[in-house]
Amino acid sequence: EDQVTQSPEALRLQEGESSSLNCSYTVSGLRGLFWYRQDPGKGPEFLFTLYSAGEEKEKERLKATLTKKESFLHITAPKPEDSATYLCAVQGRGYQKVTFGIGTKLQVIP
């Protein structure tokens, strides 16, 4: 059974204070690892897909990296508008089911 564990559950940063969110996963053959952002009361919004160990993707202040057992979402010089819950999900090869982690709730204080 696929599993996704995200840490920390909550993170409070000062504006400009860089940090990383962790996503540890177990899956029988990785088809893709996904990062989403979710604002309160809204549906998740897609950020990145990573396919293989060593892959990196960037978008504005966010950078996602992938190893064989975990992924990191690095946030550089965050702003208050980056406050949200960040979700990690995996999909295994050979099937279409997607498994999400519980998420990391990020708060960036001005």
Partner 1 sequence: EAQVTQNPRYLITVTGKKLTVTCSQNMNHEYMSWYRQDPGLGLRQIYYSMNVEVTDKGDVPEGYKVSRKEKRNFPLILESPSPNQTSLYFCASSLGTSGPSSYNEQFFGPGTRLTVL
* CA pair distance 103, 36, nearest whole angstrom: 9
* CA pair distance 70, 104, nearest whole angstrom: 15
Residue closer to partner 1, measured from CB, 40 or 110: 40
User: Which one of 21, 34, 86, 108 is in contact with partner 1 (CB under 8 A)?
Assistant: 34
Tell me the residue type at 16: G
Residue closer to partner 1, measured from CB, 94 or 110: 94
One character per residue 51-90, x = contact with partner 1 (rule: CB under 8 A): x-----------------------------------x-x-
Q: Among 80, 76, 85, which Cα is nearest to 109's?
A: 80
* CA pair distance 97, 75, nearest whole angstrom: 28
Would you tell me which residues interact with partner 1 (CB under 8 A)? 31-32, 34, 36, 41-46, 49, 51, 87, 89, 91, 96-103
